[in-house]
Amino acid sequence: MDKSPRSPKTPTKFNYEKDDSSFWEKFSTLGRKKKIKEVQEVQEEGKYAIDSPGMPNAPEIPPEDYNLEDNEQRSIIQPQCLNLPQVRDLLQLLIDWINDELVEERIIVTNIEQDLYDGQVLHKLWEKLTGNKLNVLEVTQSEEGQKQKLSVVLNAVNHTLGFHHTMPKWTVESVHSKNIVAILHLLVALVRHFRAPIRLPENVSVTVVVVKKSGTKLTAEKFEEQITTTYDDVGMKCERDAFDTLFDHAPEKLQVVKKSLVTFVNKHLNKLNFEVVDLSTDFRDGVYLCLLMGLLGGFFVPLHEFHLTPKDQDQMIHNVAFSFDLMQDVGLAKPKARPEDIVNADMKSTLRCLYNLFTKYRNIA
């Protein structure tokens, strides 16, 4: 099973509380305990000093940053928004995705604003996603150089994303000034364009405060800025086929197709006392696909080969990828979809996959 290498999960903060409750801790005196804590703190600080980005995050915004020119306006994200669960999910998902893509470059992103503003990671990400090379300096130190590089990179990105006449929601300035809203828009656009194998949380929006100075008056307005919308296709783009036509032009026929596929899979799954109700979600954990392959192909699938009750995304992806392997072993064409597309409940990918089974096995009892 050749799965693309997955990067280790983005490091999360080390959990000291758990450490405290360890068995040995109980034996140590309080004094020792304190010392251990001190050592750990120093270690942590040292680690941070090494790992932290070159430009230290100033604790206070320097005055020139909030000094507005006349009539200038500036938008700032409402900091509370970043703690909303769906926003946090989105950030984590994007970070994991970037890390998965850049695992071969040995790049690990931990913080979206801090790691993306200088164009370095964006440069690598664009090269990885398009397979092209971009002729810019690898490393730049000066702010001027950074901006120059970022502008070249963003130019290329905008070109790839097809911004010729319309303006993207990000600029060199906004990205470089670590405006998280701009960076999020940029990343979401990339995810959508390249059909990254992730499912974005839908309809995520953040509150943005726009501050405007007119004369001596500062006015602040709040906006809801929508970052993601709803998507009916998260699967990989591929050559148009009958399913695209069905989706676009004949939704009523689509219902018929769905219905006959449900009948087909249930005819077989019922033998094991399973029943599919919703095509789009019941297949995403891959379990039914594995069982169905056994039922249709005339073999038993040993239960250690897949997760009968998958606990996380990775186990689901394993299941679907394994069922894809079985499909190819029995002579079916390699599914066009990625395992992730099925796990992300992409309707078209799931339907294509089941339809393939249906055409080969429709006549078996």
Residue with tokens 């995304």: 313
Q: At its nearest, how many Å lie between other proteins and the CB of residue 7?
A: 25
291 touching other proteins, by CB under 8 A? yes
Check residue 266 for interaction with other proteins (CB under 8 A). no
Q: Which stretch binds other proteins (CB under 8 A): 157-165, 215-223, 254-262, 300-308?
A: 300-308
Contact 112, 87 (CB under 8 A): no
Distance, in Å, from the CA atom of 81 to the CA atom of 311, rounded to the nearest integer, reads 29
Residue 254 token pair? 């689509």
CA distances from 153 to 93, 112, 138, 149 (A): 23, 17, 11, 6
Question: Which positions from 269 to 288 touch other proteins by CB under 8 A, shown as an x/- string?
Answer: --xx----------------
Classify strands 73-77 and 205-214 as parallel, antiparallel or unpaired: antiparallel
- Written as one letter, the residue type at 249 is H
Q: Which span sits near other proteins by CB under 8 A: 83-91, 158-166, 225-233, 319-327?
A: 319-327
Question: Which of 31, 58, 300, 312 touches other proteins (CB under 8 A)?
Answer: 300
Q: How many CB atoms lie within 10 A of CB 346?
A: 25
Q: Is 305 an interacting residue with respect to other proteins (CB under 8 A)?
A: yes
Please, what is the minimum distance in Å from the beta carbon of residue 302 to other proteins?
6
**Closest approach of other proteins to the CB of residue 353, in Å:** 17
How far apart (Å, rounded) are the C-alpha atoms in residues 237 and 327? Answer: 21
Nearer to other proteins, 194 or 324 (CB): 324
205-214/217-226 β-pairing: antiparallel
Of 249 and 334, the one with the shorter C-beta distance to other proteins is: 334
Which CB sits closer to other proteins, 56 or 302?
A: 302
Looking only at residues 144 through 173 of this chain, which bind other proteins when binding is defined by CB under 8 A? Answer: none
Q: Which is nearer to other proteins, 3 or 259 (CB)?
A: 3
Determine, following the binding rule CB under 8 A, whether residue 322 of this chain makes contact with other proteins: yes
Among 313, 314, 286, CA closest to 301: 286
Of the pair 268, 348, the CB lying nearest other proteins is at: 268
Q: Could you give the CA distance from residue 287 to residue 311 in angstroms, rounded to a whole number? A: 12
Residue 331 CB, nearest distance to other proteins (Å)? Answer: 9
283 in helix, strand or coil? Answer: coil
Question: Which of 191, 196, 220 has its CA nearest to residue 208?
Answer: 220
Tokens 């604790």 sit on residue: 59
Chosen residue from 62, 298, 311, 333 binding other proteins by CB under 8 A: 298
> Does residue 38 belong to the site contacting other proteins (CB under 8 A)?
no
If the CB atoms of residues 235 and 310 are measured against other proteins, the closer one turns out to be 310
Contact 358/268 with Cβ under 8 angstroms? no
Positions that interact with other proteins (CB under 8 A):
271-272, 291, 294-295, 297-305, 322, 325-326, 328-330
